[in-house]
Each structure stands twice: as structure tokens, then as C-alpha cells.
Amino acid sequence: MIKASLQKGVALITVMLIVALIAILATQMTARLQLQMQRTTNVGSNQQAYWYAMGAEAFAKGILRKSFEDSEEVTNLEQIWAQGENTFPVDFGEITGEITDLHSCFNLNALRTDNNDENNQNTKKSAARKGFEELLIALNIEGVGNFEAESMADALTDWLDADGSISSAGGAEDNDYAAKEFPYLAANNYLASIGELRVIEHFSVAVINKLKDYACVLPNTNLNKVNVNTIAQDRVEILVGMLGISQNDASQVLSSREDDGFENIDDFFALKELSKAEISAEQKEQFTVKSEYFKLKTTASFNNSYFAMNSVIQVENKNKINVISRRIGRD
């Protein structure tokens, strides 16, 4: 009798253990299924946010096309592309976009020189090189003077040029970067983004944070054409550095600009603040009233999923507008 009771007790415990094990397995399977379903939902939401961003890009191309219907030769801040940041509601989310002119700032890739320029750069600095140094000084960054500005220009020139030779005293090439704790090599090519300055010799965080509001990167070109119609009113340092004029004169120049800008570059240099200054023909060639490259900064959301993208758009004419690069993520 006692033996039978013990056997029933053992059987009951065994059954309870099996039920507990099944309950645990069922709970884990349910949790994994819920996780997998959430992952699937997140992937779908992220994909939809991505397509919202791509839709914003297509919309921006249409805006640029419409902006240049009336005038393809003049770009100014009165055109509809220059309306600042705009947000549009969409199903289960929203799209935010802003178009900026990449000709309203200094192109860092302008310091890339060809072989002939490299052979002569010790005897004569290009207007772009001098303008970059003067811009750094005009920004009044703590600890940055003539020597530091020249060293940064040397290092950037070496990073951009095609050879492995150090161009000047402040320059740096493969041997300098390979000797670091975490070694790497110089790009010897165009910058892809302004953030690349973080790995170039002499450029500090303070310099980069200040410079990013005044400089930009045009992809795969050393073209440096600054549009006098789209320079922001509070970015007078660009004119100070590139033209060698005083900050007061630069402020007067931008203040005298009409809303629709200058019709041609001669009208700009006819201003009294500039006509009295000693500005070389090479310096004048760095300015224009027409822009070719634009940047679209987009953020899109869908069901609490977010997607950020920066697109560079080239406008050759109103009928030929192409996206030439995309970068995922925020600046």
C-alpha cells in the first residue's frame, strides 16, 4: 500500500515537472515569436521610412526644376528651393526636408592640386589655398593663428593630392598617419564629407565644429565657385577670407544685396566696398551667381521608426537634375 502511494507520488511529481517544462518552453517560444514579429514590424517600418525619404528626394528634384524654369543663370534665396526646413505629415509619420546651396560655402576639395600646381605651390599659393587660410583666421578660433592655419592647409593639401610627397612643413602623408597608435593611410583623393577632417593632421574638434558652418564638400571636384547670392548674412567671414576685405566691408556687401540677388558677378564687384579693394582676377574667379550643387537633408518617420539621409543633387539645367551621392544618417 505504501509502495503504491510512493509510486503515485513520483508519477505526480514527474507529470508536474513535465508540465512545468512545457510551460517554460511555451513561454520562451511565445517570447521569441513576439520578438520576431516585432523585428519584422520594425524592418517594415524602417523600409517605409526609407521610401518616404526617397520620395522627399524626388520631390526636391521637382522643386529645383521649378525653381529654374524662369531663370537658369541666376540662383538666389528668393527661389522656392530656399524656403528652409519644411515638415509634411504623411500616413503614420512625417517627412522633414531642407535644401541648401553647396555654393554658399567654401569647398574644401578646392585645395586639391594637379601635378603642375604641386610643382609650383612652394613659390605661389593658389587663391583657394590663401582663401582657406584667411578663412580659418577670420573665424577667430582660439589657438589658431597664421602658423596653425598654414599647417592645416598643408595637411589638407597632402590629404587631397594624388602623390605621397609632403608638400610643405606642416604637411602629412602616409608615414605620419601610419606611425599613429591606430595607423591608417592618407586618402590622396577628394574628401567625401567634412567629417573626414577628424583624421587629418592638425584639425581639432573645435576647428571642425566652427568650420562646418562655413565650409562644405563638393564631391569629386576642386571647383570653388561661391554664389554671392546665397551666402548667409551671418557668414561674412567667407568674404573676409576669400577677398581679403574687412569684416565691416563684408557686412555692408551682404546687407546691400537685394532679395533676388545680383544678376551677374560684375554687379557684385561694382559695389563700392569691393571696387576700392585690391582684388585679383584669380580671386574674382572664385565667385558666381549660379549654383550647380545642392544638398537635401531629409528625416522621415513611420510608426516610431526614423530614417535620415543627406543627398547631393547636381543641377546641370532644369531638364537634367541628378542625385550624385547619398549618405545615410545625420550630419
Q: pLDDT, tens digit, for every residue of 174-220? A: 899 999 999 999 999 999 999 999 999 999 999 999 999 999 999 88
CA angle at residue 105 from 110 to 268, to 5 degrees? Answer: 100
Statement to judge: residues 280 and 153 lie in one domain? yes
How far apart CA 135 and CA 247 sit, in angstroms, is 11
- The answer to whether residue 45 is domain-embedded is yes
- The answer to whether residue 226 is domain-embedded is no
Statement to judge: residues 148 and 35 lie in one domain? no
- The answer to whether residue 135 is domain-embedded is yes
Between 292 and 22, name the one with better pLDDT. Answer: 292
CA angle at residue 64 from 62 to 69, to 5 degrees? Answer: 95
Statement to judge: residues 22 and 119 lie in one domain? no
Across residues 309-319, what is the average pLDDT? 89
CB atoms within 10 A of CB 129: 20
The confidence score (pLDDT) of residue 56 equals: 94
The confidence score (pLDDT) of residue 135 equals: 96
- The answer to whether residue 221 is domain-embedded is no
- The answer to whether residue 242 is domain-embedded is yes
* Residue 9: pLDDT band with limits 50, 70, 90: low
117: cell is 600646381
Query: Could you give the number of structural domains in the chain?
Result: 2
How far apart CA 115 and CA 325 sit, in angstroms, is 27
Statement to judge: residues 111 and 236 lie in one domain? yes
Between 18 and 327, name the one with better pLDDT. Answer: 327
Tell whether the model's pLDDT for residue 226 goes beyond 60.
yes
Across residues 71-84, what is the average pLDDT? 91
Of the listed ranges 6-10, 73-77, 222-226, 234-238, the one predicted with least confidence: 6-10
252: cell is 555692408
Are 270 and 10 a contacting pair, CB within 8 Å?
no
How far apart CA 21 and CA 5 sit, in angstroms, is 24
Helix axes 127-138, 146-160, angle to 10 degrees: 130
Statement to judge: residues 53 and 98 lie in one domain? yes
Across residues 30-41, what is the average pLDDT? 75
Statement to judge: residues 176 and 93 lie in one domain? no
Domain ranges, residue 204: 106-216+231-286
Statement to judge: residues 260 and 317 lie in one domain? no
CA angle at residue 151 from 137 to 286, to 5 degrees? Answer: 55
Statement to judge: residues 263 and 117 lie in one domain? yes
For position 38, which CATH number holds? Answer: 3.30.1300.30
Between 125 and 41, name the one with better pLDDT. Answer: 125
What's the Cα-to-Cα distance from 169 to each of 158, 200, 204, 217, rounded to whole Å? 11, 15, 18, 25
- The answer to whether residue 225 is domain-embedded is no
- The answer to whether residue 296 is domain-embedded is yes
Across residues 54-63, what is the average pLDDT? 94
Q: What is the pLDDT of residues 280-307, one digit of tens each?
A: 999 999 999 999 999 999 999 998 889 9
Statement to judge: residues 324 and 269 lie in one domain? no
Statement to judge: residues 188 and 114 lie in one domain? yes
What ranges in the chain are assigned the alpha helix state H? 2-67, 115-120, 127-138, 146-160, 174-178, 205-211, 237-243, 247-255, 265-269, 272-275, 281-284
The confidence score (pLDDT) of residue 21 equals: 83
* Residue 317: pLDDT band with limits 50, 70, 90: confident
Summary mean pLDDT of the chain: 88
The confidence score (pLDDT) of residue 239 equals: 95
The confidence score (pLDDT) of residue 7 equals: 64
- The answer to whether residue 224 is domain-embedded is no
Statement to judge: residues 161 and 59 lie in one domain? no
The confidence score (pLDDT) of residue 121 equals: 47
**The one-letter amino acid at 151:** S
Between 283 and 37, name the one with better pLDDT. Answer: 283
Q: What is the pLDDT of residues 239-292, one digit of tens each?
A: 999 999 999 999 999 999 998 899 999 999 999 999 888 899 999 999 999 999
For position 158, which CATH number holds? Answer: 1.10.40.60
* Residue 109: pLDDT band with limits 50, 70, 90: very high
Statement to judge: residues 204 and 241 lie in one domain? yes
